[in-house]
Amino acid sequence: EEPIPVEEPPKPPPKSDLLVEKPWPQEHSLCLFGPRNGIRRCCEWFVRHPNFEMFILFIIIASSVSLAIDSPLLDPESPLEAQLTLTNYVFTAIFVTEALLKIIAYGFLFTERAYLKNGWNQLDFAIVLVSVTVIAAEVLDIEALAPLKSLRVLRALRPLRLVGRIESMKVIVATLIASIPAVMNVLAVYLFIQAVFAILGMQMFAGTFAMCTEDPTIATVEECVTAGNTWENPPGNSFDNFGSAMLALFLQTSGDLWETEMFQAMAAKGPGLAPVRNDYSPAALFTISWMFVGAFIALNLFIGAIVETFNSIAAETGAGSATMTGAQLQWVQTIKTAVLAKPMKGVPPPEGSMRMYIFKLVMSVNFDIFIITIILLNTLLMACKSYQFEDDAFISISGFEMTKGDAYNYAMRFFISVYYTEFALKIFSLGPIGYFSVGWNRFDFVLVCTALIDDLAADLTAYLPVPPFLLRVLRLLRIVRILRILKGVKGLRDLVTTIILSLPPVFNVCSLLALVMFIYAVLGMHLFATLVLQDNVESHANFQTVGNGMLLLLQSVTGDGWTLLLQDSLVQEESGLCTEGVDCGSWVAIPYFVTFQLFGTLVFLNLMVAVILENFTSLSEQNPDLVSPSDIDGFMEAWAELDPEANNKLPESMLPELIAKVPPPLGTFGEDDAANSARSIAKKLKVEKPGGLVKFADVLLALSLKRYVDKSDLPEPELRKLEKMVSTEVGKPKTEEEDFTA
């Protein structure tokens, strides 16, 4: 892999001076306010103030809460409905005022910083325009404007304004927008394949899925109609026309109850004939073929397009990684971590021969191996316990009989005694300050305390009302000790690091998904609040409140029976379920549920997969022979042993000892003849030694540089150039850039 020459990024062009007065109407907001106009500059100061943005954010959240409360089931004459109407007017007035202030400050359309030149402002303006239009139609009560009242349902889009004001959500939306070209190409391929299967399905199954709904035993359409019954298709599952066929195939693609549609196809006898069960029908091959082609191949192309776009954006924004080789990128990441790394305080060796002996014992590698072995055996023992475990008896080799429960308790007592002993030895040798200065020791102390509380539970219950559930939770915490294995196993640490690195972007995706679910729940409440309750849309899963709607959509986004929810939302008057006070379903349910599945399942859930894959790939692609950011922790721990006070300096003579304590690739710990190798590296190390002392950062960078020079194709001048560039970038103070989008 040839190293790519590193070029400094070009400087952005200078921004124009917008305070220079220009001839009318150039840079005149609304053709009235010039760049130096006092009113315009006052409005600009006002809308740029952080408190103004926080106020608007609060108003958006408050308006979203009012949307969640404003249910169609409320009595129009109730005081709550009147208050909600009034608050809607107030919120709309505030949003209109915000838009006017920004239009005056930046111009509406033709100025350099025009309000409508920003995409988020366009979204805000459209939502405000809808709100004003609906209020005008309601207040004026003109018959010609009556159809505009139906736009009231679009108020559910108000929470979308949060996206433009929360940076983490803007990043996710920018990724999705960037993936639109690739997704459109995939969509064209997918629709073509689906259309082919839809036409084929129409040729094979048109008119064959219908049956007599009142009496399924009737075999023909003529007999059903003669008996005064209804002959119709199952909801959402037919190939009678192209639209129905496309919908049926999409429902199968989601994997929800696809086997039901397959059995329906297998049972098909012919047009006008009721389906009859047939376990050996070759028609099953049609559905199976579509699942392979549509669900496993074509639909996953969407995932590939989104993941590829996400990785491309990450590469372009990740410290120039799109123009660097793997070794260059790993070196840049290492330097960034090394520049920011500081020596941490260690545990100073105690005074006294007894404490020193125990100190060396508990700090040794063999002691850690012993404790990890005990933890693994303890975990294995806990996994062996089962229901009524205490009542089973067994006989030992010596003939002594005891129950399995007694043996389990004796073994658990042994393990807990080991943990108590470990705590006592460490607190004695390290001292309280030294013991609690180590994170893993604090972790162990919490678990020791829970074990102690569990031991005293029998005595505590006599004096305090301790619930048994709490005691079971405390016992369960014992298994958390297995996390200590992470301390010594690098592979497991990398996996946990992947999870930790993925948490912020996954949280961002989940936040945006929750926002979309809230919008759909509000929209569903206005569309289906009065929908008749049935088998799937029932008393707990419905759209009568936003809370119930969120639960229903959570069920839908997991793919659990969402096609049944769609079928209940399509119920017709012929079913006889629609009575006074409740409504039948509507065709609107089809775009409602289909679009939510597209956004919720295909986009957001797979975006989480992209985030985790990107972080896992970045770790797995690192060259283990070269230094990576995770290797710096080992250096910091070794330095803390020799410099427990974190003075940032060590005598030059201690360099070999330091290198021998650091694990590879920075040091020689664990290697054959580690001491001699460490002395050899120390002699060749290019590090400044003023007064016979070496500094933390100098040694860390020198060891990293030597490893890259020895194990990579990158020349030393190239490495030093990258080091200088990254050090300057990390060390320089950040300046607040002017925000041209308000």
* Nearest CA-CA partner of 431 in 500, 371, 349: 349
25: preceding bond cis by omega (within 30 degrees) = yes
Alpha helices (H) in 341-437, listed in sequence order: 353-362, 365-384, 404-436
Lowest pLDDT segment from 203-207, 340-344, 495-499, 730-734: 730-734
Give the predicted TM-score (pTM) of the model.
Answer: 0.73
Name the residue among 439, 447, 454, 460 with its Cα closest to residue 418.
447
Which pLDDT score is estimated for 297?
84
What's the mean pLDDT in 91-114?
89
Residue 512 has pLDDT above 80, yes or no: yes
Confidence class for position 324, pLDDT limits 50, 70, 90? low
Smallest CA-to-CA distance from 245 within 194, 289, 300 is with 194
Whether the Cβ atoms of residue 354 and residue 391 lie closer than 8 Å to each other: no
In Å, how far are 97, 116, 167, 659, 742 from 125, measured between CA atoms? 11, 8, 19, 62, 14
Q: Is the pLDDT of residue 171 over 60?
A: yes
Each residue of 34-49: pLDDT tens digit? 888 888 889 989 898 8
Model confidence band, residue 90 (pLDDT cutoffs 50, 70, 90): very high
Whether residue 539 has pLDDT greater than 50: yes
Distance, CA of 648 to CA of 345 (rounded, Å)? 10
In this prediction, residue 487 carries a pLDDT of 61
Highest mean predicted confidence (pLDDT) among 100-114, 196-210, 616-630, 719-733:
196-210
SS3 content of the chain, % helix, strand, coil (to 5): 65, 5, 30
Return the structure tokens found at 492: 């497991």
pLDDT tier at 633 (50, 70, 90 boundaries)?
confident
Q: Are 552 and 542 in contact (CB under 8 A)?
A: yes
Burial code (b: 16+ CB inside 10 Å, e: under 16) for 38-70 equals: eebeebbeebeeeeeeeebeebbeebbebbbeb
- If you average pLDDT over residues 356-375, what whole number do you get? 87
Average pLDDT score over residue span 563-579: 82
- Tens of pLDDT, residues 204-241: 999 899 988 888 888 898 989 888 888 888 876 789 99
Say if residue 397's pLDDT is above 70: no
Q: What is the rounded end-to-end Cα distance, in angstroms, of the chain? A: 45
User: Residue 282: which pLDDT band, with cuts at 50, 70 and 90?
Assistant: very high
What is the torsional sign of CA 231, 284, 302, 311? positive
Six token digits for residue 467: 């619930």
Q: Is the pLDDT of residue 395 over 60?
A: no
Instruction: Write phi, then psi, for 488 (nearest 5 degrees).
Output: -115, -5
Q: Which phi and psi angles does 333 have, rounded to 5°?
A: -65, -40
Phi, psi of 551 (to 5 degrees): -65, -40
State yes or no: pLDDT of 93 exceeds 90: yes
Ramachandran quadrant class, 270 (left: phi over 0; alpha: psi -120 to 50; beta: rest): left
Mean pLDDT of the chain: 81
More confident residue, 87 or 351: 87
- What domains, with CATH codes, occur in the chain? 38-165 (1.20.120.350), 180-298 (1.10.287), 353-488 (1.20.120.350), 492-620 (1.10.287)
- pLDDT of residue 740 exceeding 60, the answer is no
* CB atoms near residue 510 (< 10 Å): 13
pLDDT of 731 reads 57
Query: In which band, very low, low, confident or very high, does the pLDDT at 689 lie, cut at 50, 70 and 90?
Result: confident
Q: What is the pLDDT of residues 104-163, one digit of tens each?
A: 988 888 888 888 888 888 888 998 998 888 888 888 777 766 777 777 778 888 888 888
Q: From CA 139, how far away is CA 143, in angstroms rounded?
A: 12
The C-alpha atoms of residue 128 and residue 468 are separated, in whole angstroms, by 55
pLDDT higher than 70, residue 17:
no
Are 685 and 702 spatial neighbours (Cβ–Cβ below 8 Å)? yes
Give the per-residue pLDDT at 518. 92
Give Cβ neighbours of residue 10 (< 8 Å, ≥ 6 apart): none
Q: Is the pLDDT of residue 198 over 90?
A: yes
Q: d(Cα 267, Cα 172) in Å, to the nearest integer?
A: 46
- In angstroms, the Cα distances linking 246 to 175, 235, 296, 425, 504 are 29, 14, 17, 70, 38
Query: How far apart (Å, rounded) are the C-alpha atoms in residues 559 and 588?
Result: 20
Out of 301-310, 354-363, 429-438, least confident range? 301-310
CA distance 403 to 406: 5
27: exposed, middle or buried (Cβ count in 10 Å: 0-12, 13-18, 19+): buried
**575 Cβ contact partners less than 8 Å away, ≥ 6 residues apart:** 584
Model pLDDT, residue 458: 58
List b or e across 178-192, with b for residues whose CB sees 16 or more CB atoms inside 10 angstroms. Answer: bbeebbeebbeebee
- CB-neighbour burial class of residue 691 (10 A; exposed 0-12, middle 13-18, buried 19+): exposed
Instruction: Please give the Cα distance from 685 to 364 (Å, whole number).
Output: 28
pLDDT band at 1 (very low <50, low <70, confident <90, very high): very low
Written as one letter, the residue type at 122 is Q
Contact criterion met (CB below 8 Å) for 555 and 536: no
The stretch 512-526 carries a mean pLDDT of 90
Q: Which helix (H) or strand (E) holds 217?
A: none
Q: In the prediction, which pLDDT does 734 show?
A: 42
**Tokens at 623, concatenated:** 């060259």
Buried b (16+ CB within 10 A) or exposed e, 94-114: bbeebbebbbbbbbbeebebb
